[in-house]
């Protein structure tokens, strides 16, 4: 199977079996998604979804969050990983949005990564989920699945994996392919003991071919 055939097989499978794939983070507007994604770094979406309602009740918009005091925000996110840093990042992010972007969440990756707590992965998530831009956020799940299946080759960093993926996935499918790979890694192609017997793309998978060899 050529690389192009492998990509085609994988994309066709997910298109058929999970056409409506989307983020598992619960949000209602770009502000809420940005907060949720910042909190989700090295933390589960489930835990984030348990935490954000109290935040959005107290700080319903970017303006209110920009006026938040650390001592008021920290208790709301203390069950999240790295709450100290994330509380500072959220307040700093909100203040910069108010001061530099007139209170509007930026809609481009270069602008978003200027914000405290926002790296390339977070910016790619926000722009692809909210605006359906052809940006591929590479987290540990995407990185692992893409390498195992053989969609990426010798990628040493998330950026290298991202560049390889966007080169081979049609632009209009990138924002959904991000979710396909994440969800596959979260539930089927897990880090330890991947569930190959339940995997619909194993015919195209280099890892599986090596296993059954």
- Which residues does the annotation mark as catalytic? 121, 139
199 known member of a binding site: yes
What the block records as the tokens of 11 is 């994309």
Comparing C-alpha atoms, which of 148, 137, 210 is closest to residue 185? Answer: 148
Measured in residues, the chain has a length of 213
The label of the residue with tokens 């926002």 reads: 118
Q: What is the DSSP string of 34-47?
A: HHHHHHHTTS-HHH
43 known member of a binding site: no
**DSSP H or E segment with residue 114:** none
Could you tell me which residues are annotated as the binding site? 189, 196, 199, 205
Could you tell me which residues are annotated as the binding site for [4Fe-4S] cluster? 189, 196, 199, 205
């Amino acid at each position: 199977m050529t690389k192009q055939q492998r990509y085609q097989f994988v994309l066709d499978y997910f298109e058929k079996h999970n056409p409506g794939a989307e983020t598992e983070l619960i949000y209602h507007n770009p502000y809420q998604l940005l907060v949720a994604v910042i909190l989700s770094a090295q933390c589960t979406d489930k835990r984030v979804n348990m935490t954000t309602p109290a935040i959005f009740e107290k700080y319903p918009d970017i303006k209110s969050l920009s006026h938040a005091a650390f001592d008021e925000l920290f208790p709301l996110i203390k069950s999240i990983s790295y709450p100290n840093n994330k509380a500072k990042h959220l307040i700093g992010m909100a203040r910069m949005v108010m001061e530099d972007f007139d209170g509007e969440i930026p809609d481009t990756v270069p602008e978003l990564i200027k914000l405290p707590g926002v790296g390339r992965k977070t910016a790619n998530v926000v722009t692809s989920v909210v605006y359906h831009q052809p940006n591929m956020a590479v987290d540990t799940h995407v990185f692992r699945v893409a390498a195992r299946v053989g969609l990426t080759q010798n990628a040493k960093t998330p950026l290298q994996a991202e560049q390889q993926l966007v080169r081979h996935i049609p632009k209009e499918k990138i924002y959904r392919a991000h979710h396909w790979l994440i969800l596959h890694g979260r539930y089927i192609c897990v880090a330890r003991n991947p569930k190959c017997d339940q995997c619909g793309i194993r015919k195209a998978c280099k890892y599986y071919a090596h296993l059954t060899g």
